[in-house]
Structure 1
Amino acid sequence: MPRMTPQAELDQLLALIAAQPDGWGIEAITQALGDSMKRRTLQRRLATLVAQGQVLMQGEARAVRYVRVVQAVATLQAPMAVVEAAGGPYVPTSPEGEAIKAFVRQPRTKRPPVGYQLSFLEQYHPNHTAYLPQSLRDQLHTMGSASNGHTPAGTFARDILNRLLIDLSWASSQLEGNTYSRLDTERLIELGQAAEGKDALETQMILNHKQAIEYLVLDPAHAQLTPDCIIALHAFLSDGLMADATAVGRLRRRAVEIGGSVYLPVALPQRLEELFGIVMQMAAQIDDPFEQAFFLMVHLPYLQPFEDVNKRTSRLAANIPLIRHNLCPLSFIDVPQSAYVDAMIGVYELNRFELLRDVFVWAYERSCQQYVAVKQNLVPPDIFRLRYRQILSEVVAAIVKNNEAATAAAVNARVPATVAVADKAHFTQLVLEEFAALHAGNAVRFGIRPLELAAWQDLHSGAG
């Protein structure tokens, strides 16, 4: 009798499990197969089907049963609202997502500890395996594409940068338990005003997001699917937040645990570095930007390459392919923390991605609702002004506070060395334009009090 191929064995096993709606225990499966498959081979094939999301494990120890999963993916035919579920808001979920949610919400004592499963990564073959079906990717492309023809990479993200800085910084931080409101975040990013009564680490987390987003958007050359780019994002996002300062922007060198999960990530540094390189190499090979984005959201947190700040890094990394293909960015705005946490535990403990896919799809539609429809009404930001925004504010404030006339000579005398020589003339012109538009209502942007401005205007009225 010719030996069956691994795929044929998987198909045979899947058909057998599907024939029993209540599922099979491994002993029953062994008896049904007879001598056609050795027990160790059966265990490997079952693990493969579970990792692929085609079979669900229910129960524990000897009571484990294997149940066929009915494949379904949330559609985008109508706008999705946040669903109210037990314990608070949730996203609409597929049947697979509901099964994962039910599993991960069991007490930890009913969830056996699991380690990193290399097979989960090995079973993924770029451009052959797809976590997001083609029909779903087509819908995401339709939603996220800018209707402005062929424009340079990053144009979409730069056009909405001011809003993206606030929305993504706030939403991503909120998923980590940050208590800043969106209004607090807006004041911090635009005016530099930290919210009263907030922990300094929460403020730092918001500002770190701002810097990391600007790193990706202001210079599209930075937005690359390379290990160096991911490490740079981690350096921005973890700055000032790590107990060990040397762990900022560095692959971890010690074992870590995941709060609220029974998952134990890879501990050996050399193995971790090797796997990180493989994950990034595989991500770079994926053609579709949405599949790339989702692959990073699954496998970066699952690997846990850094001591902390892994999920934040993965959320910004997911935007790299979207920026590179000039698609609407993913801000995670309004994503319920409980849904995201459940979805990540499903990846950690079950190697199941369907609930995270539900979250990803809902989050992207929400982002598109925020940005695509209003993009045409936004005034594109001046990238030059954004680059020198802080320095510009300091020069304007210094001239007013020192009662100097707003002349080209006065501005030139205060231009710091951090302004490139080739940019000085444009910078001076921009400062003078700010003075031409300066009034009591907008002077607060430069930290100038109304009385200071009034005194300066009385002294220099007509000067220029």
Structure 2
Amino acid sequence: MAKSIPEKELQDIEAVVSAHPEGVGLQAVLDALEQSLPRRTLQYRLKHLVDAGRLIKTGEKRWVRYFPADTEPRTGSSVREPSYEEAAGAIPVSRQAAEIQNALRKPLRSRKPAGYQHRFLDQYRPNHTAYLAPAERAHLREIGTPPSGPRPAGTYAKQILNRLLIDLSWNSSRLEGNTYSLLDTKRLIAFGEETAGKEHVESQMILNHKDAIEFLVGSAEEIGFNRYTILNLHALLANNLLPDPEATGRLRRIAVGIEKSVFHPLEVPQLIEDYFDQILATASAIADPFEQAFFIMVQLPYLQPFDDVNKRVSRLAANIPFIRANLIPLSFTEVPADIYTEAMLGVYELNRIDLLKDVFVWAYERSASHYTAVRQSLGEPDPFRLKYRSALQEVVQNIVLERLDRKTAFNRIVQWAEQHIPQEDRQRFREVAENEVLSLHAGNFARYRIKPSQFSAWQAAWSPNP
């Protein structure tokens, strides 16, 4: 009967190989092992690990190299180091970011457990410390500033709101593993139609994003890095998704873990409260909107202040300074989920931001290009309709929800204008509101936050069958 190999010896060999994702030769493994083994014995151990699928072997004789099982080895007589573009896939990354990826691609058991480090937050000094270099911030501001002059907070986001609702809801949900397609997402947001064969939790996630984005854009003058905004943002994003309904909009009181990571988040509720407030105060004090956005993407999910949905909150919260300053928003268009996950693990386990910064800058460049094209296709918006956007939404929504017929609806518009609109704008407001009501159809009523059942019920009153 063959003698069994001690599992500890096999794990030690695996740990050595895992430290060399670029591949390692037999002699290097032999030199790195703490326990001295005969060369023939090590060859036997390595063969056992390869046969068991725990290591990968390439080459023959002197060119034999061993790779971790979760690595795609490069073949051929020479082994070249991958370019940084290849290492990240779609996103070019820096040398520092590539180092983070290599460290995170080791098996979990060979990565050092890490707890929450308060000094990572405490060492940041607003407007003195900076995650983004001055040249990076200047570049982002140049591509992210629309050509229009100063306008009220939220003006730009309102102009592209219909596109932003779909883009950001879909991409942020996709980064969480949601399987809805872009077309599925459009149908869900526009008509409330769930896609057959999908889990209800997926449609709930997307609709929660829609509500949260509308909250940010609709409250552009009031939002900021404060408890009101961030707690309500979490409540909207987590609605009907948490096992404990009372945990929505409430800071965490339980221990949580991070899947496929050696990071252990903070567990003391009082410290979570204190550090959460410190993050908000620090973010509020940062002058540059791009530095603000990236800071919150780093520090908020690192603290894990909520039972779940932390990364979603950070992605939407990153748009707060863009909405307030009328900059192009960040929708995470085309960001690969695996690269984003690695970038967050780099923050969690290593307190290193280089990979996440590369993702952030690349993603913003894509968003800026996308929304510049979208904005050009939309033409110049009517300033009057933009000024009274909320008022028009309210009066049209009320007409539908109350199922008013034509005569009653037009009387309501007159009365509403007399009560809420300055005299010099009343006539124009009535004309625009009446046109909005007359233009309602099955393809556009969702922008007034009207459900399909409510629209159908109103149609029956508006155009009764003879």
Query: Could you tell me the TM-score, scaled by structure 1's length?
Result: 0.71
Deviation at 1:456, TM superposition (A): 4.3
Deviation at 1:132, TM superposition (A): 0.5
Provide Cα deviations, 1:358-402, integer angstroms capped at 9, x if missing partner: 000010000001112432432548555567659846845986xx9
Other-structure match for 1:273 = 273
Other-structure match for 1:130 = 130
| Bigger mean CA offset, 151-160 vs 299-308 | 151-160
Provide Cα deviations, 1:402-446, integer angstroms capped at 9, x if missing partner: 9x5x22x2555799x9x99637x8997556324544689889998
SS in 2 for 1:222: coil
Q: Is the 8 A contact 1:395 1:411 kept in 2?
A: no
Distance 1:390 1:184 in 2: 28
* Letter aligned with residue 432 of structure 1: E
- Stretches of structure 2 that go unaligned for 5 or more consecutive residues are 1-83
Other-structure match for 1:432 = 434
Q: Does 1:208 align with 2:187?
A: no
Deviation at 1:106, TM superposition (A): 1.2
Deviation at 1:194, TM superposition (A): 1.9
Structure 1 segments (4+ residues) deviating >2 Å: 82-86, 379-399, 409-415, 419-423, 425-432, 434-449, 455-459
Distance 2:334 2:394 in 1: 30
Other-structure match for 1:356 = 356
Distance 1:180 1:211 in 2: 17
Change (3 A) 1:255 1:444: closer
Other-structure match for 1:153 = 153
Q: Is the 8 A contact 1:90 1:339 kept in 2?
A: no
Other-structure match for 1:245 = 245
Q: How do residues 81-230 of structure 1 correspond to structure 2 at under 5 angstroms?
A: 89-230=89-230
Provide Cα deviations, 1:309-360, integer angstroms capped at 9, x if missing partner: 0000000111111112211110111110001000000000000000000000
Deviation at 1:155, TM superposition (A): 1.6
Distance 1:444 1:256 in 2: 37
SS in 1 for 2:221: helix
Distance 1:324 1:187 in 2: 29
Deviation at 1:260, TM superposition (A): 1.4
Q: How do residues 240-389 of structure 1 correspond to structure 2 at under 5 angstroms?
A: 240-378=240-378, 380=381, 382=385, 384=388
* Letter aligned with residue 166 of structure 2: I
Q: Is the 8 A contact 2:251 2:273 kept in 1?
A: yes
Distance 2:230 2:168 in 1: 17
* Letter aligned with residue 138 of structure 1: A
Deviation at 1:219, TM superposition (A): 2.2
Provide Cα deviations, 1:132-182, integer angstroms capped at 9, x if missing partner: 000111101101011112222222211111111110010001000111111
SS in 1 for 2:173: helix
Other-structure match for 1:236 = 236
Other-structure match for 1:71 = none
Query: Could you tell me the TM-score, scaled by structure 2's length?
Result: 0.71
Counting matched residue pairs gives: 367
Change (3 A) 1:84 1:201: farther
Distance 2:204 2:349 in 1: 31
Distance 1:355 1:420 in 2: 56
Q: Is the 8 A contact 2:189 2:446 kept in 1?
A: no
Distance 2:328 2:205 in 1: 24
| Bigger mean CA offset, 107-116 vs 438-447 | 438-447
Q: Is the 8 A contact 1:169 1:209 kept in 2?
A: yes
Other-structure match for 2:81 = none
Change (3 A) 1:150 1:392: closer
* Letter aligned with residue 97 of structure 2: G
Change (3 A) 1:328 1:306: same
Deviation at 1:223, TM superposition (A): 2.1
2:420 to 419, 422, 429: 422
Change (3 A) 1:352 1:208: same
Q: Is the 8 A contact 1:276 1:305 kept in 2?
A: yes
SS in 2 for 1:193: coil
Change (3 A) 1:206 1:428: farther
Change (3 A) 1:420 1:232: farther
Provide Cα deviations, 1:168-208, integer angstroms capped at 9, x if missing partner: 01000100011111111111112222222211111111111
Distance 2:344 2:442 in 1: 49
Percent of residue pairs identical:
50
Q: Is the 8 A contact 1:90 1:338 kept in 2?
A: no
Distance 1:304 1:85 in 2: 28
Distance 2:270 2:193 in 1: 43
Change (3 A) 1:110 1:380: farther
Change (3 A) 1:433 1:117: same
Q: Is the 8 A contact 2:256 2:265 kept in 1?
A: yes
Distance 1:228 1:440 in 2: 35
Distance 2:274 2:207 in 1: 31
Distance 1:242 1:317 in 2: 20
